[in-house]
């Protein structure tokens, strides 16, 4: 009786194989530019995440995790990230003018600071603050600068919001404004949590205690970063691994979302070290007639060295805790210096410890390594680096100018460091794999493409490019070789047989580069074109395959080995 059951796995495998074989590789709407989110998430409910548990798990489990080398699961067929409730393509796809970048996500409705009504104290983070209503009745989250870094915290929030908006993330609208305690009132229902855990009425003494930890102007007012309340029902933070079980549209494990993996590159560029669930936020909003969960980077202020206290120079160099360097310092009574202890920082009162001369993006560390950080692959890093490189010097300076530094030298310093770090990101990641980009095949059969590493000036042009042309069966994925072509530039003529492809037919072109200094350029970028009545359409691009053969980005190099 048991023998027939033994056939069940085989039957299931054959059925799955048959289903796979009958499914085409590419569909008529490929490549999609918007991630499908067609189901209502109305049942999504608030989620709490234990931040202490997350901290310990990241430091003592994730830090020892080996990446799976799984290809990002939310890319479309041409290896790009579609728009979604997580991400909207902006820089790298659209041209962004400096004045547009300087506005970022902000609507033309700044706070009205003539009167603030305090609702509650700021419950998380080291910077002092309140939740308050302005003179127009709008609710804002107010965050003050710390006395040791006047202007620094508010500038970091403002600049970071502009950069991460341009990169494609959902961020909070923020404005730099003023808070005058003489014009502040306290809502009669406002309470504050006491050390005992009890909540009691919020008083002016409570307000004064908060303001004692804030940088104060000579006239008694305070510079403050005001973040507009995010619309929708607040659902709490999101995790950097797994999915939300109450969101039917959340199908891709978060560690395999490219835009979350890419925060390892964007975080290194800006030194966004406080990379944790507590700095994210999900909200339930109504879009196109259905309830959708929208995902925000709620706090991008731990950037540009502003997560550092004046005596903490290791942010971005080590995790909160790393056994090897900690043991080395302990055993040598502190005489064994770590790299961050010898960095010649240029210090300004309004700027954190932020430098670009010793910066190595491949060795950069956040406070703790979340799962998405571990899972970043070389193709994810390449995708991210292209977006960082899309920021011109002018755009970077425009973003930094929104920080409203009173010291022009400090503003110039932050911009100069961001420019140096941008170039370091491009230098590290663009030449690391085959950098062929933007393949096009015109109506008369001329193939053109670019080399991202060469175009950015981070690599010499290859000796030659090689293209393998193949017929591609979209139903079976079988290929038949047509011809090989070679060129010393990014232009090649298609073999004559290619132009005999019928309307609706497919060809595959595998492009490699011959470079003595870059062995990885010999791995082909596989491109797929469909012939249409209007010409050839790029419908597929694969830069790295899935699995162990893919290039992984290491994450455990000892800080002392940089």
What pLDDT is stored for residue 7 in this prediction? 37
Give the H/E segment covering residue 464: strand 464-472
Task: Give the closest residue to 122 by CA, choosing from 153, 151, 158.
Answer: 153
- Judge if 319 and 202 occupy the same domain: no
What count of Cα atoms within 13 Å lies in the side-chain half-sphere of residue 206?
Answer: 21
Place of tokens 């030194």: 271
Q: Are residues 520 and 432 in contact, defined by beta-carbon separation less than 8 angstroms?
A: yes
The per-residue pLDDT for 562 is 44
| pTM of the predicted model as reported, rounded to 2 decimal places | 0.92
- What is the C-alpha end-to-end distance of the chain, expressed in Å? 63
SS3 285: strand
Q: What is the pLDDT of residue 5?
A: 35
Say which CATH number the domain at 506 has. 2.60.40
In a 3-state reduction of DSSP, which class is residue 384?
helix
What tokens does 260 get? 């979350």
- Positive or negative: CA dihedral 546, 427, 75, 164: positive
The domain in which residue 509 lies consists of: 436-542
Long-range contacts (CB closer than 8 Å, 24 or more residues apart) made by 486-490: 488/461, 488/463, 488/464, 489/465, 490/436, 490/448, 490/449, 490/450, 490/451, 490/465
Decide if 518 is inside a domain: yes
Query: Dihedral of CA 551/556/561/562: which sign?
Result: positive
Residues 179 and 83 in one domain: no
Task: For residues 512 and 119, give the distance between their C-alpha atoms in angstroms, rounded to a whole number.
Answer: 61
The per-residue pLDDT for 308 is 59
Tokens representing 274 are: 């406080």
Q: Please give the tally of structural domains in the chain.
A: 3
Regarding whether 258 and 211 lie in a shared domain, the answer is no
> What pLDDT, on the 0 to 100 scale, is given for residue 554?
62
Question: Among residues 148, 157, 164, which one has the least CA distance to residue 308?
Answer: 148
Burial label for 34, CB within 10 Å (0-12, 13-18, 19+), is: exposed
Distance separating alpha carbons of residues 476 and 9, to the nearest angstrom: 23
Structure tokens at 219: 């006239």
* Residue 219, pLDDT score: 95
User: Are 258 and 383 in the same domain?
Assistant: yes
Q: Which residues of the chain have pLDDT under 70?
A: 1-22, 123-126, 307-311, 547-562
Query: Which DSSP helix (H) or strand (E) runs through 528?
Result: strand 525-532
pLDDT on residue 558 = 41
* C-alpha pair distances (Å), 200 with each of 121, 188, 203, 235, 371: 12, 11, 9, 26, 39
Q: Do 487 and 398 share a structural domain? A: no
- Per-residue pLDDT, 492: 97
Among 235, 251, 271, identify where a domain stops.
Answer: 235
Q: Could you give the CA distance from residue 332 to residue 328 in angstroms, rounded to a whole number?
A: 6
Note the pLDDT of residue 135: 97
| pLDDT for position 322 | 86
In a domain, 520, yes or no: yes
**Which of these three, 406, 429, 452, is where a domain ends?**
429
pLDDT tens, 342-397? 888 888 989 988 999 999 999 999 999 999 999 999 999 999 999 999 999 999 99
Residue 70 falls inside a structural domain: yes
Q: Tell me: do 200 and 218 sit in the same domain.
A: yes
């Amino acid at each position: 009786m048991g023998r027939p059951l033994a056939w069940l796995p085989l039957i299931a495998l054959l059925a799955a194989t048959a289903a796979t074989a009958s499914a085409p590789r590419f569909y008529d709407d490929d490549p999609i530019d918007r991630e499908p989110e067609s189901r209502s998430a109305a049942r999504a409910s608030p989620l709490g995440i234990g931040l202490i548990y997350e901290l310990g798990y990241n430091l003592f489990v994730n830090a020892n995790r080996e990446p799976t080398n799984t290809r990002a699961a939310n890319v479309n067929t041409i290896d790009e990230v579609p728009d979604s409730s997580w991400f909207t393509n902006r820089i790298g796809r659209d041209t962004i003018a400096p004045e547009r970048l300087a506005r970022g996500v902000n609507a033309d409705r700044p706070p009205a600071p003539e009167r603030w009504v305090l609702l509650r104290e700021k419950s998380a983070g080291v910077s002092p603050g309140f939740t308050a209503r302005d003179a127009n009745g709008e609710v804002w989250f107010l965050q003050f600068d710390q006395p040791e870094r006047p202007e620094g915290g508010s500038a970091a929030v403002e600049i970071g919001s502009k950069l991460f908006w341009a990169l494609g993330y959902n961020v909070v609208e923020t404005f730099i404004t003023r808070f005058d305690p003489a014009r502040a009132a306290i809502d009669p229902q406002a309470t504050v949590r006491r050390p005992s855990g009890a909540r009691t009425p919020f008083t002016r003494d409570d307000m004064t205690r908060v303001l004692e930890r804030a940088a104060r102007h000579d006239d008694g007012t305070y510079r403050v970063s005001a973040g507009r309340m995010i619309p929708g029902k607040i659902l709490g933070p999101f995790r950097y691994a797994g999915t939300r079980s109450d969101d039917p549209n959340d199908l891709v494990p978060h560690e395999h979302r490219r835009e979350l993996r890419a925060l390892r590159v964007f975080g290194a560029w800006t030194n966004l070290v406080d990379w944790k669930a507590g700095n994210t936020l999900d909200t339930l909003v109504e879009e196109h007639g259905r309830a959708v969960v929208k995902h925000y980077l709620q706090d991008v202020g731990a950037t540009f060295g502003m997560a550092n206290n004046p005596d903490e120079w290791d942010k971005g160099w080590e995790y909160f805790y790393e056994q090897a360097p900690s043991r080395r310092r302990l055993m040598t009574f502190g005489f064994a210096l770590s790299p961050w202890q010898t960095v010649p920082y240029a210090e300004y009162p309004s700027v954190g410890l932020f430098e670009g001369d010793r910066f190595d993006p491949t060795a950069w560390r956040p406070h703790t390594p979340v799962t998405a950080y571990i899972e970043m692959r070389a193709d994810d890093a390449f995708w991210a680096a292209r977006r960082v490189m899309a920021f011109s010097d002018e755009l970077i300076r425009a973003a930094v100018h929104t920080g409203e530094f009173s010291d022009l030298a400090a503003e110039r310093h932050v911009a100069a460091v961001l420019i140096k770090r941008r170039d370091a990101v491009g230098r590290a990641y663009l030449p690391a794999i085959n950098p062929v980009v933007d393949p096009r095949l015109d109506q008369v059969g001329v193939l053109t493409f670019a080399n991202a590493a060469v175009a950015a000036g981070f690599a010499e042009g290859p000796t030659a490019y090689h293209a393998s042309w193949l017929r591609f069966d979209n139903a079976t994925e079988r290929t038949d070789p047509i011809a090989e072509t070679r060129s010393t530039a990014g232009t090649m003529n298609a073999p004559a047989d290619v132009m005999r492809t019928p309307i609706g037919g497919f060809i595959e072109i595998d492009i490699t580069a011959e470079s003595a200094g870059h062995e990885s350029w010999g791995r082909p970028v596989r491109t797929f074109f469909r012939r249409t009545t209007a010409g050839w359409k790029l419908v597929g691009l694969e830069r790295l395959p899935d699995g162990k053969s893919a290039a992984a980005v290491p994450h455990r190099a000892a800080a002392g080995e940089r």
